[in-house]
Amino acid sequence: MYSLMSSSPSISSSSSSFLGQTHFDSRTPNARLPTKDSWICKCVATPPTETTAHMTKVSRNANMAKLQAGYLFPEIARRRSAHMLKYPDAQVISLGIGDTTEPIPEVITSGMAKKANALSTLEGYSGYGAEQGENRLRAAIASTYYGDLSIEESDIFVSDGAKSDISRLQVMFGSNVTMAVQDPSYPAYVDSSVILGQTGQFQKDVEKYGNIEYMKCNPENGFFPDLSTVSRTDIIFFCSPNNPTGNAATREQLTRLVQFAKDNGSILVYDSAYAMYISDDSPRSIFEIPGAKEVAIEVSSFSKYAGFTGVRLGWTVVPKELLYSDGFPVAKDFNRIVCTTFNGASNISQAGGLACLSPEGLEAMHKVVGFYQENTNIIMETFTSLGFSVYGGKNAPYVWVHFPGQSSWDVFSEILEKTHVVTTPGSGFGPAGDGFIRVSAFGHRGNVLEACKRFKQLYK
């Protein structure tokens, strides 16, 4: 700023140039300033004014503040990036996030390419489609996966993936429901429940959110909860084959689960995203269980079958028989949610889905699944040979390895630091997952073999 200060008669050239030789009218004697022989105008620096960011008057959703740290998989990616900065020359192998790595079979991509090319013609162009999905694809899903289960085309809602539908279902259920979840389980179930306001605060002493029923699944109970100890909730999330443990529930277990939901008047949300990996006689759909259509919703996906993790295509089955306490069909509400929040899956993705369900596409998907199952066997054999207790793998692309008495994040850090291999800490899936790590079978064969070689060097 500028200030008038007493000074010597001398004036710097810069000050002189700035002030110039201004003269005032002598006819206004009271308006005179001191002459430049006794005063100068000098530039004086002042501290910069501290700016305060503008804040709106909108309060933050208090439920967002309940969430703990970052979502599990972005946090793993952050730590992976930090490790790569620390060891820029290391060959880091990722067996953490369950992202597919092998190319999508050409019979499937050619279907998408054909649709994409058709969009550049008048005859082949299409804009908005039905929010529920193209009828041909809905019919193909019904006949392929539910052919003898009395699931109709109109019961199926095609989407951009199971994860998206989990959140849409939570929006439909609203904030006033109670929820049960396997412990450990896929983090999206719990986090979406927190965001919707269904839970209490996070209780750090037990690593759980209030108002969620955690159904403990561990080696002692065969990774199936003791339902006699589970309190009644409105919604039950259940994944089989389970992510992360890899366990597939038996027909007898699922029969008990359906009866438990029916006795309690609960709705069961059943995640079957890994059903194609089942290699024994475990049910591939909850609707194989008598009475399930009266209590269950099923979500599924092409992500892990056809390599569609980036293409994004899944579906949800909401049977007409599923009713609220007042007799209103749940499917009508889900249809309204879909029509309000979603403009339908990409028509190119849906063309890929139709290609997946052709005879050639199904054969190609089974080959992809078979490749990852071979990876799983390699990882299982590695940790078993090292003396670890190893679970999962048989019916899922995940291996669940026990490190008794150790923190999952500590094991994760040790493996990353000493082998440059990314895994997933079990505690990220729930408190019952602590002491375990999940090793994903999604990876190039060479990387899986190299990772297993490093595991043997570390734990020999």
**DSSP symbol at 106:** H
Strand order in the sheet with 390-392: 390-392, 398-402, 436-440, 424-425
And the tokens for 173? 């259920």
Minimal CA–CA distance to 306: which of 96, 142, 95, 103? 103
What pLDDT was estimated at residue 52? 81
- Per-residue pLDDT of 185-213, as tens digits, reads 999 999 999 999 999 999 999 999 999 99
- CA separation for the pair 174, 176 (Å, rounded): 6
What pLDDT was estimated at residue 77? 87
* pLDDT exceeds 60 at position 4: no
And the tokens for 209? 């959110």
Domain 106-361 in CATH 1.25.40.10: no
Ranges for all domains in the chain classified under CATH 3.90.1150.10: 65-102+363-459
And the tokens for 159? 């989407």
Ranges for all domains in the chain classified under CATH 3.40.640.10: 106-361
| 3-class state of residue 208 by DSSP | strand
- Per-residue pLDDT of 59-85, as tens digits, reads 999 999 999 877 788 889 899 999 999
Strands (E), 341-458: 390-392, 398-402, 421-422, 424-425, 436-440
And the tokens for 8? 């010597």
And the tokens for 53? 């960011």
What pLDDT was estimated at residue 75? 87
What pLDDT was estimated at residue 21? 43
What pLDDT was estimated at residue 71? 74
Other Cβ atoms less than 10 A from the Cβ of 223: the count is 23
Whole-prediction pTM value? 0.87
CATH number of 65-102+363-459: 3.90.1150.10
Find out whether 223 and 247 touch, Cβ atoms under 8 Å: yes
And the tokens for 303? 């992500």
What pLDDT was estimated at residue 72? 85
- Per-residue pLDDT of 249-299, as tens digits, reads 999 999 999 999 999 999 999 999 999 999 999 999 999 999 999 999 999
